[in-house]
Structure 1
Amino acid sequence: MTQQDTRKGVMMMVAVTFIFAMQDGISRHLSEAYNTYMIVMIRYWFFALFVIAMAARTRGGLRHAIRAKRPWLQALRGILLVVQIYVIIFSFVQNGLINTHSVFICYPLIVAALSGPVLGEKVGWRRWTAIAVGFVGVIIILDPGKGLFTMGAVIPLLSAVIFAAYALLTAYVGHSDDGIVSFFWTGIVGVVFATLGGMFFWEPMSLGDWGWMALLCLTATSGHYLMIRAYEMAEASALQPIAYLQLVWGSILGMWAFGDVLHLHVAIGAAITVGAGLFTIWRARVKARQILMAQKD
């Protein structure tokens, strides 16, 4: 992997964070007028087609993609992701893009905290300290001293917990199934679950909003495609820190399009949480390098 490949991968990941932030904004816009279940269902119809097309192009095709060694865990992953999307879109409408993303960015810390019991990874005192500091940042964002620690404020935290569980299961099944198998099951199980949840909530949509719906589907598929290409070009350790840019894009969009307000305590808490998250990513990279060097010796 060349330096040029890494540079292209990083640039693609920057584009991915922007596209996903736009996707979040469109999801909020549509869910303020229509029910979330229908929005997610239509979005998954297009996503499933994209997943099938990607799987068909890989070695072994659909026959390989469908053969999961841990089908029940793969199915659980797909369901968890749909539920997480329901929860975070609800939070976008209730709390805005800024407040939602500012809390949701703690999910890497939850993954790091649970990687020991779930994945058997060793988490040292430095990362435990960073995890604790990161959650202090989340508490600052939620601002319990001013009575803002309400159920509505906890919703993005619930979304982060669900997504962390999805990420941990993804890592766990990755020991037995390759990436395309997991990707295929995410889309297929997801579309079935989302359709079962949304088919009873269909409502007429205006022509203009169908245009927004088409744009939502386009951002979802293009964002995932660029993310796959980015991970093909660059190592995950180089791309993971870039993911925090979605908070920046989402905040700008929230203020510009929806009139969201960036409060000082949210900015301070988010900065603390992001800093702690970046530190855990760096420590994980250091530990991986140390293990690799020990194996070579």
Structure 2
Amino acid sequence: MSDRAAVVQQNNVPAGIALMVASTVVFALQDGISRHLAGTYNTYMVVMIRYWFFAAFVIALAARAPGGLRAAVRTDQPRLQITRGLLLAGEICVAVFGFTVLGLIESMAVFICYPLMVAALSGPVLGERVGWRRWMAILIGCIGVLVILQPGMGVFDPWAVIPLISALMFALYGLLTRYAARRDSAATSFFWTGTSGAVAMTAVGLWFWVPMTAPDWGWMAALCVTGVLGHGLLIKCYEMAEASAVQPFAYFHLLWSAVLGLFLFGETLRPAVMAGAALIICAGLFTLWRERKQR
């Protein structure tokens, strides 16, 4: 435990930034593989297999930690922890489905507004105070979303709200995680996230099972590995540096997703998407800056 504390106190920001950027590369690859597989097979089945590997990872991680599985399982708020797990599993299903109908670029450009949703909902959910400056940033981020969706330009595509729903679900998951952290450790929350999500997705995904080809099993293995690798990099990132210092670099996820969308999936990058994403990112960075300043 003392070695872990020493790493945190060191606050190696350059190393933390490098790990955050590396995790965004891995998560973007994961999104691309998810889009490929979900375009051929059912989304529930793809997410179910992904969760099996994720659950195995968190169980192995918990078993090696001090106190073992018994310490990881122990919580006096199981309903909250299960709700978190179900919410994240549902969000992943919505997000992956969005990749198949909208593409990586359009989906991620809207999804990156989730930090602004966290800021907006932190008041009613957590009782935190949100000042007028952050409310202005949230409003600017909303304008950015409207620029991307363009609801007044011709016929509005109803599928365009999918990444917005995904962002809202992920924001709620993040808020519930912060709420759970008041009484549970990060290891406990991580364990319940993986196991409860795996149980839920198995109950749903088995009904949509179809045989997979050998090459696609290879892609599925890659999807599972990138999921574990991405979470591992993220955990190490937050051990190396403060979250407020490295969080802005999470926006690189959009950049890598755009590269994959353009060059692998033949997607297009509309000027409205670039303009709207720029507004959302600027608003999100300002919100992170204000939160760090207040702390």
Q: What interval of TM-score do these two structures reach, taking the shorter chain for normalisation? A: over 0.9
* Structure 1 residue 90 corresponds to structure 2 residue 92: no
Which sections of structure 2, spanning at least 5 residues, go unmatched? 1-8
- Alignment of 1:255 onto 2:239: no
Query: What residue is the counterpart of 2:146 in the other structure?
Result: 139
CA shift for structure 1 position 147 = 3.0
- Which residue of structure 2 aligns with residue 233 of structure 1? 240
1:274 to 277, 281, 286: 281
Unaligned runs of 5+ in 1: 289-297
- The 5 A counterparts of 1:107-122 are 107-122=114-129
Structure 1 CA distance for aligned equivalents of residues 175 and 213 of structure 2: 39
**2:218 paired residue number:** 211
Q: For the residues of structure 1 that align with 2:87 and 2:244, how far apart are their CA atoms? A: 25
Q: Which amino acid in structure 2 is aligned with residue 26 of structure 1?
A: I
What secondary structure sits across from 1:144 in the alignment?
A: coil
1:171 paired residue among 171, 178, 185: 178
Aligned counterparts of 1:149 and 1:187: Cα–Cα separation in 2 = 36
Compute the displacement of 1:148 (Å): 5.2
- Greater Cα offset, 270-279 or 140-149: 140-149
Deviation digits for residues 59-100 of structure 1, max 9, x if unmatched?
111101001121101000000001001101111000000000
The answer on whether the counterparts of 1:102 and 1:270 sit within 8 Å (CA) in structure 2 is: yes
2:94 corresponds to 1:78: no
Corresponding residue for residue 292 of structure 1: none
Residue 222 of structure 1 pairs with residue 209 of structure 2: no
Whole-angstrom distance in 2 between the partners of 1:25 and 1:180: 28
Counterpart residue number, 1:295: none
Instruction: Please give the residue correspondences for 1:197-208 in structure 2 after superposition, counting only pairs within 5 Å.
Output: 197-208=204-215
Which digits, 9 at most, give the CA deviation of each residue in 1:170-209, with x for residues without a partner? 0000000010000000001010001001011110100000
TM superposition score normalised by structure 2: 0.96
The 2-side partners of 1:268 and 1:145 are apart by 16
Work out whether residues 6 and 233 of structure 1, in 8 Å CA contact, stay in contact via their aligned partners in 2: yes
Is residue 2:20 matched to residue 1:2? no
Question: For 2:103, what is the secondary structure of its paired residue?
Answer: helix
Partner SS, residue 264 of structure 2: helix
Deviation at 1:117, TM superposition (A): 1.1
Q: Is the 8 A contact 1:127 1:283 kept in 2?
A: yes
Q: Distance in 1 between matches of 2:176 and 2:35?
A: 27
Q: Pairwise CA RMSD of aligned residues?
A: 0.9
> How many residue pairs get matched?
287
1:186 aligned to 186, 189, 193, which one?
A: 193
Partner of 1:129: 136
**CA pair 261-38 structure 1, distance change in 2 beyond 3 A:** same
Deviation at 1:275, TM superposition (A): 0.3
The equivalent of 2:272 in structure 1 is: 265
Paired residue type of 2:56: L
Alignment partners' CA distance in 2, 1:85 and 1:170: 16
Q: By how many angstroms is 1:285 displaced?
A: 0.4
Q: CA deviation at 1:9?
A: 1.4
Q: For 1:203 and 1:265, locate their aligned partners in 2 and report how far apart those are by CA, in whole Å.
A: 39
On the 8 A contact 1:142/1:148 being kept in 2, the answer is: no
Q: Structure 2 CA distance, aligned partners of 1:174 and 1:204?
A: 40
Name the amino acid aligned to 1:34: Y
What is residue 251 of structure 2 aligned with on the other side? 244
Pair 248,95 (structure 1): closer, same or farther in 2 beyond 3 Å: same
